[in-house]
Amino acid sequence: MPGPPPAVAAVRVAVRQALTGGPLRAERVPPRPGPQPGAPLLLVACSGGADSLALAAGTAFVAPRLGWAAGAVVVDHGLQAGSAEVAEAAAARCRDLGLDPVEVVRVVVGASGAGPEGDARRARYAALASCADRVGARAVLLGHTLDDQAEQVLLGLVRGSGARSLAGMRTHRVVRGGAGDGAPHMLLVRPLLGVSRAQTAQACAELGLEPWQDPHNEDHRFTRVRARRGLADLERDLGPGVVAGLARTASLLQDDADALDTTAGTAYLALGPPPWAVTDLRQHPRAVRTRLWRRLALDAGSPGTDLTSDHLLAVDGLVTAWRGQGPLHLPGGVRASRTGERVAVRGPRS
């Protein structure tokens, strides 16, 4: 009996690998025939586009065979005319695939100064975390592909970012869904980081699924759209393989960034409670110190999406180039300052 078409098989294999490796490996229960009451639940974040729709189809096929229950959540950002109808259509496709429960969550995208893409992402993650917490899902699956990973690396190169940013997106990541200490945490899983955008489109075609074509994907106001066009130009001018090469770079840099993070974690414990002595800080290389500053800033309430390498290098200047300058102001009302031979990073209420 012939197997599924190659694109369909690629998506299913990727989902299977994500559900049997990493932190989800210990969560699943042994599969058994028929309905499985009480099986741990996964949610697919589905916009109705080709990537997330292919992921929804792959998860609907694979998850029950591995002892998981699978549902979906559709976030309506309300940023386009007819967005409610688009969200309901995506939810209907998920139900047709056998996913249950399927939730449609409407959000209001505020303006924080992070830009429309950043504001939409923040609202979306808060909605995903809240929904996962409400229905008891163990993880939320996202449809980011190999092409998305390459675009992330390209943008990091253009911005002059460090190794952690160039390492791209992780297959598994725990994030806090919103602002405040009470915001629910969620495990994000990206099964398709090794699957191309062309493969997800082909998988949908093979399965008879008609994905939604987001008009924002053609809008050059958005950075990701310009990055996508830039990658297409690079592929044309330099030859095929640019996307795969950038994604491979991300994978290699993840190992380097992880090693530096481990070293920084050891240094954090050895330094003890802040403020920290300048003489102790100088014993560590800058790559470790900037990770320490980032950790302190995040702990003090600075939003990670707004905290840049320029901010961290400025804080490091309190160790390497201090001439009596006053406090540095970081995103979220966080302040970094040096008093005598000690450096502190404090939140707005400290």
Q: Which domains does the chain have, with CATH numbers?
A: 6-242 (3.40.50.620), 272-346 (3.30.465.60)
Crossing angle of the two packed helices 242-271 and 286-299, in degrees rounded to 10: 80
The strand ranges marked E within the chain are 41-45, 69-76, 102-106, 137-141, 172-176, 185-189, 276-277, 328-330, 334-339, 342-346
49 SS3 class: coil
Residue whose pair of structure tokens reads 């806090």 in the numeric block? 176
Of 96, 58, 64, 68, nearest to 195 by C-alpha is 58
pLDDT at res. 52: 97
Q: Which two tokens stand for residue 86?
A: 């688009």
Q: Which residues contact 217 (CB under 8 A, 6 or more apart)?
A: 225, 228
268 C-beta neighbours (distance < 10 Å), count: 16
pLDDT in tens, the chain (350 residues): 678 999 999 999 999 999 998 888 766 555 555 446 678 999 999 999 999 999 999 999 999 999 999 999 999 887 787 889 999 999 999 999 999 999 999 988 777 655 667 788 888 988 999 999 999 999 999 999 999 999 989 888 887 767 777 888 999 988 865 544 556 788 999 999 999 999 999 999 999 999 988 777 777 777 888 988 988 899 889 988 999 999 998 988 888 888 999 999 999 999 999 999 999 999 999 999 999 999 999 899 887 767 888 899 999 999 999 998 889 999 889 999 999 999 999 998 76
User: DSSP readout, 284-347?
Assistant: S-HHHHHHHHHHHHHHTT--TTT--HHHHHHHHHHHHS-SS--PEEEGGGEEEEEETTEEEEE-
Q: Which two tokens stand for residue 285?
A: 């290389």
Residue whose pair of structure tokens reads 């549902």 in the numeric block? 71
Residue 47 annotated in ligand binding: yes
CA–CA distance, 151 with 288 (Å, rounded to integer): 27
Query: How far, rounded to the nearest angstrom, does the alpha carbon of residue 138 sit from its chain's CA centroid?
Result: 16
176 C-beta neighbours (distance < 10 Å), count: 17
Cα-trace Rg, the chain: 22
- The dihedral built from the CA positions of residue 261, 183, 137 and 53, taken in this order, carries a sign that is negative
Residue 48 annotated in ligand binding: yes
Note whether 127 and 105 are within 8 A (CB): yes
CA–CA distance, 167 with 338 (Å, rounded to integer): 31
Residue 50 annotated in ligand binding: yes
pLDDT at res. 164: 75
Long-range residue pairs from 2-8, CB within 8 A, at least 24 positions apart, any chain: 4/206, 5/202, 5/203, 5/206, 7/199, 7/200, 7/202, 7/203, 7/206, 8/57, 8/58, 8/203, 8/206, 8/207
Note whether 225 and 51 are within 8 A (CB): no
Residue 219 annotated in ligand binding: no
CA–CA distance, 221 with 58 (Å, rounded to integer): 32
130 SS3 class: helix
Give the torsion through C-alpha atoms of 119, 125, 128, 129, to 10 deg: -130
